[in-house]
Structure 1
Amino acid sequence: MLLELIQRRRVLFLGGKGGVGKTATASAAALHQAASGRRVLLVSTDPAHNLGHLWDQRVGDEPVELYRNDTTGGVLRGVEIDPQRTIDEHLAEVGATLRDFMPEHLHPQVAAHLKLSAHSPGTHESAILERIAVLIEYGLDAHDLIVFDTAPSGHTARLMALPEIMSTWMSGLLTRRSKAERFGAAVRVLDGDDDPASNAPSNRDQRIRQVLTRRKARFEMLREVLSNPKTCSFVVVLTPERLPVLESVELCAQLRESGVDVGGLVVNRLTPRDAGEYLAQRREQEQRHLDSLSELLPGVAVDTLPMLSGDLVGPAAIQRLAHELR
């Protein structure tokens, strides 16, 4: 399921409960596609990054090469979104816009407000969302596929719903901006200034409108990508245990409510049946959870990955996991 799905998409999100192997599965899928000749960008949105640890090399906020196949022309690059850098850049832009609104003597208050905003609820999410939008907006020019390794379920479900919320919010800001410009023009006329040139939008007004329009277009683009099943899908990764199964069912419902296509499920670390009585009994229990998953999410494709021996570290180990994908 996963390989067939990913071959027909430009953007793929993998998410699920914490600790179920999202990063390993996303890396294996991305590596498989790069080996077959595609240009792939692998992005971690989880603040607790594991991408660099998994690949056993330094990965940061700018793309670094993780794999290259000179025979097929495929290449895999990795990015770990730096939340603090994203928030700093996000607030710097917001701060420049706010200072355009305010007289100079209020600029210190703007700085104090932004310092508090850096720790306010929603700031982290909106900043990360905009960085995801930028990576999709520009990353698809240089890559055939972008694979996102996301944060645990609750954070990711909220993130998937935000493009609609942010797009509507930006529309509201633009509407209010237009009203403010018209009000300012009316005041100037009442003051006896009927020169058309003086009633034209100021450089400040134009800059504010440009910023708002650009951000609105960016969030609308992201909303369109997320809601287009021909371009984007979400794959839920889980382990064959009761809590991950139940959390995955809830995540699928939240994703569908947000208009995001659920492409399938990958059940990771399935215990072998032929490795002794203890593990055989555990495998039977896991099968019951798999049966429950099929009943709770009828019609959703399910792939399984076996439990592998040894630590999953480095390209060779990720390649072994990629061979298990279907």
Structure 2
Amino acid sequence: MPELVAARRVVVVGGKGGVGKTAVSSAVALGEARRGRRVLLVSTDPAHNLGHLWGADVGDAGTTLAPRLDAIEIDPERTTEEHLRQVGERLRRLMPPHLAGEVDRHLSLARDAPGMHEAAILERVAEVVEASLASYDLLVLDTAPSGHTARLMALPETLTTWTDGLLRREERARRLGEAERGVSGRTTARDRQGRTLADDPAAGVLGAPAGPVETEQGDRNAEIRDVLLRRRARFALLRSVFTDPAATAFVVVLAAERLPVLETVELAEQLRRAGVHLGGLVVNKRSPADGGPLLAARRAHEDQYLRTLDDALPQAPRVEAPLLPDDLVGAAALQRFGEVLGFGRTDVR
């Protein structure tokens, strides 16, 4: 595990709910921070387990959990509300004043539209990734359960393509508008007692100043295009980071049970289609072989499912973490868990 993480700038931790994603994310982040790297740990899981695990108030504004380790819990509701607020401000500025009521109606309907929360969270993740690459050595993303995570990994390409489509439509509309203004200018100019375009500066063509309405519309179009270009650049950066195996590794956490194993195989296929590299697997809460007949039988049962995992994902590196007697709460417990995952005791002061 340390070798996998040390070579990357981003580690995304995913898997089925309840398998220990937050514990693994936290142990990885703490282990790398203790090795001297500046680490940002970010949770996109609406369950907010990060603060509970560390016994700290993390929240959307973020906090410092340990030397060289900062953390943020992205709040989906707050993120969506902030996203809609920013979109609303932009639309009211770009649209004519008499359409303000229509803008409010559109945003009210959009609040609960399918995919709105994912899109808003992706915007925030894109901002965090962009900022973390400049300020931190490592970003560790603790994600929501598998279905949400798979969509999150696929969204950068989807939204980049969607934004490209909007830009092409904007470009066609701009050219059409220019053509219409050119035709209108010629007709108007020649209807005015046979004068040529050059004789009629009011036509707003051939270098003559456009009217105030044209100028205002042009300013709106320029701002819309600028917004779309910034959005495309942000999503393109996110996609390039997520799909670069030298920069990002996706680690799947699972239990050695039927459903988590099957879900892991499915998630690995979804990641492959999205172009995201599967860095490794963490099989958590493995039953001991020497804990009496019950646990020994349980471990033999787990071995059967892990053979299924080996057959489906033979190239994926795997770490197995034992079932622990106590709850993982606080930095000391997470440090011990990190040692189980292979992070040594070295602590850079």
Equivalent in the alignment of 1:313: 329
Alpha-carbon distance, 1:209 to partner: 1.1
SS across alignment from 2:142: strand
TM-score (norm 2): 0.88
Inter-partner Cα distance in structure 1 for 2:335 and 2:316 = 26
Equivalent in the alignment of 2:180: 187
SS across alignment from 1:148: strand
Partner residue of 1:215 out of 231, 235, 252: 231
Q: Which moved more, 1:100-109 or 1:195-204?
A: 195-204
Equivalent in the alignment of 1:133: 126
Q: Deviating runs (4+, > 6 A) in structure 1?
A: none
The answer as to 2:12 corresponding to 1:13 is: yes
**Structure 1, residues 147-178: CA drift from partner, whole Å, max 9, x if none?**
00001011111111111110011011111111
Equivalent in the alignment of 1:49: 48
**Structure 1, residues 214-270: CA drift from partner, whole Å, max 9, x if none?**
001000111111110000110110001011000000000000110000011100001
Q: Which has the larger radius of gyration?
A: 2
SS across alignment from 1:57: coil
Alpha-carbon distance, 1:101 to partner: 4.6
Alpha-carbon distance, 1:48 to partner: 1.3
**Structure 1, residues 283-322: CA drift from partner, whole Å, max 9, x if none?**
1111222222111211111110111111111111111101
Give the aligned residue type for 2:223. R
Give aligned pairs, total.
Answer: 319
Inter-partner Cα distance in structure 2 for 1:283 and 1:189 = 78
The answer as to 2:269 corresponding to 1:256 is: no
Give the aligned residue type for 2:72. V
Alpha-carbon distance, 1:84 to partner: 1.8
Give the aligned residue type for 1:194. G
Partner residue of 1:89 out of 67, 82, 86: 82
**Structure 1, residues 57-107: CA drift from partner, whole Å, max 9, x if none?**
101112210001xxxxxx111100011222122222322333345321121
Give the aligned residue type for 1:67. A
Give the aligned residue type for 1:234. F
Inter-partner Cα distance in structure 2 for 1:214 and 1:301 = 37
Partner residue of 1:290 out of 306, 317, 336: 306
SS across alignment from 1:202: helix
Inter-partner Cα distance in structure 2 for 1:58 and 1:79 = 10
Inter-partner Cα distance in structure 1 for 2:177 and 2:80 = 32
Closer, same or farther in 2 for the Cα pair 1:183/1:93, shift >3 Å? farther
Give the aligned residue type for 2:101. P
Partner residue of 1:163 out of 135, 156, 167: 156
Partner residue of 2:221 out of 205, 211, 223: 205
Inter-partner Cα distance in structure 2 for 1:93 and 1:156 = 25
The answer as to 2:247 corresponding to 1:231 is: yes
Inter-partner Cα distance in structure 2 for 1:99 and 1:209 = 16
Give the aligned residue type for 1:225. V
The answer as to 2:309 corresponding to 1:299 is: no
**Structure 1, residues 36-68: CA drift from partner, whole Å, max 9, x if none?**
000000000111110000000101112210001
TM-score (norm 1): 0.94
Equivalent in the alignment of 1:72: none
Partner residue of 2:113 out of 93, 103, 120: 120
Structure 1, unpaired ranges of 5+: 69-74
Equivalent in the alignment of 1:106: 99
Structure 2, unpaired ranges of 5+: 186-202, 343-349
Inter-partner Cα distance in structure 2 for 1:122 and 1:21 = 26
Give the aligned residue type for 2:275. G
Inter-partner Cα distance in structure 1 for 2:91 and 2:166 = 13
Inter-partner Cα distance in structure 1 for 2:222 and 2:93 = 11
Equivalent in the alignment of 1:78: 71
SS across alignment from 2:329: coil
Inter-partner Cα distance in structure 2 for 1:103 and 1:300 = 55
Inter-partner Cα distance in structure 2 for 1:142 and 1:29 = 18
Amino-acid identity (%)? 54
Q: CA RMSD in A?
A: 1.4
SS across alignment from 1:308: coil
Give the aligned residue type for 1:319. Q
SS across alignment from 2:179: helix
